[in-house]
Amino acid sequence: DSGVTQTPKHLITATGQRVTLRCSPRSGDLSVYWYQQSLDQGLQFLIQYYNGEERAKGNILERFSAQQFPDLHSELNLSSLELGDSALYFCASSAGTGVEKLFFGSGTQLSVL
Amino acid sequence: AQSVTQLGSHVSVSEGALVLLRCNYSSSVPPYLFWYVQYPNQGLQLLLKYTTGATLVKGINGFEAEFKKSETSFHLTKPSAHMSDAAEYFCAVSGSARQLTFGSGTQLTVLP
C-alpha cells in the first residue's frame, strides 16, 4: 500500500459528460501529480501541484483542470468527455517538489461510452 | 527535451534465468533515471533510481541497473527470475524539466 488513495476505482460515463477524480496524498506529502495511462499514448504527465499551487504542467487538455485543496487532497476535473479520454488516471505524491521518489495510487479507470 | 526508449514491449524468460530489460534515454542535462514496476490492477512502484554517484544502482526484489553515459543506457537486470517478477516495467527519465517522462513499458512474462 503506497498510502495514496484514489477514488473512485472505476468510472463509466458517456461522451459530453463531466467527471471528478479524487486523490488523497500520503500523509505529509505536499506534492500531487496526475498522470494518464492509455494504450496509445502510454504514461503521460498531466499536472503537478505543490502545497496548493500549480507547479508544472504537462500534456493536459484545456477540457481538463485540477486543483489542490488546503487539506492537500487533489481533484482532477474532466469535462466534455470524448471516447479518447478513456484511460487509467494515476495520482502520485511526493514530500517535496522533486520527482526522486513518487508514490503512486492504484488509479481510476475511466471508461467513456 | 527528454525521452525514453524501451526495447522490446514483451520479454519472456524462464524461471531462474537472467532478466534483462533495456532502456535508452536522451536528455539535454545530466539525467535522473528510474525503473518502476506495475503489477496488475496496481499503481507504479519505484524499483530503483539513479540520481548522482555510483553508476550501478541496486533496488528492491534483487533488481539492479547500471547507468552508462557513453551508451545513454540504463538497463535493468536480475540474475534469476522468479514467477512473482511477472509485471510491466517502466523506465523513466527526469531531465531539464525535472518531470518524469516514461517509456512505453516492457511486459515481463516468467515461464515455469
Query: Where is B88: in which H helix or E strand?
Result: strand B87-94
A10-60: pLDDT as tens digits: 999 999 999 999 999 999 999 999 999 998 889 999 999 999 999 999 989
What is the tens place of the pLDDT at every residue in B48-96? Answer: 999 888 899 999 999 999 999 999 999 999 999 999 999 999 999 987 6
Closest chain B CA to residue A106: B43
| Any A CB within 8 A of B104 CB | yes
Confidence at residue A100, expressed as pLDDT on a 0 to 100 scale:
85
Between B108 and A2, whose confidence is greater?
Answer: B108
Of the pLDDT bands very low, low, confident and very high (cuts 50, 70, 90), residue B97 is: low
Q: Does A25 touch chain B (CB under 8 A)?
A: no
- Strands A19-24 and A74-78 come out as antiparallel
pLDDT for A48: 95
Q: Return mean pLDDT, chain A.
A: 95
pLDDT recorded at residue B96: 66
| DSSP three-state, residue B89 | strand
CA distance, residue B16 to nearest chain A CA (Å): 28
**Which residues pair with residue B28 across a beta bridge?**
none
Q: Does B52 touch chain A (CB under 8 A)?
A: no
Size of chain A, expressed as the number of residues it contains: 113
The cell numbers describing A6, all together, are 484514489
What cell numbers appear for B28 in the block? 539535454
Q: Which residues of A fall within a CB distance of 8 Å from B90?
A: 43
Edge-to-edge strands of the sheet including B19-27? Answer: B2-7, B19-27, B73-78, B64-68, B56-58
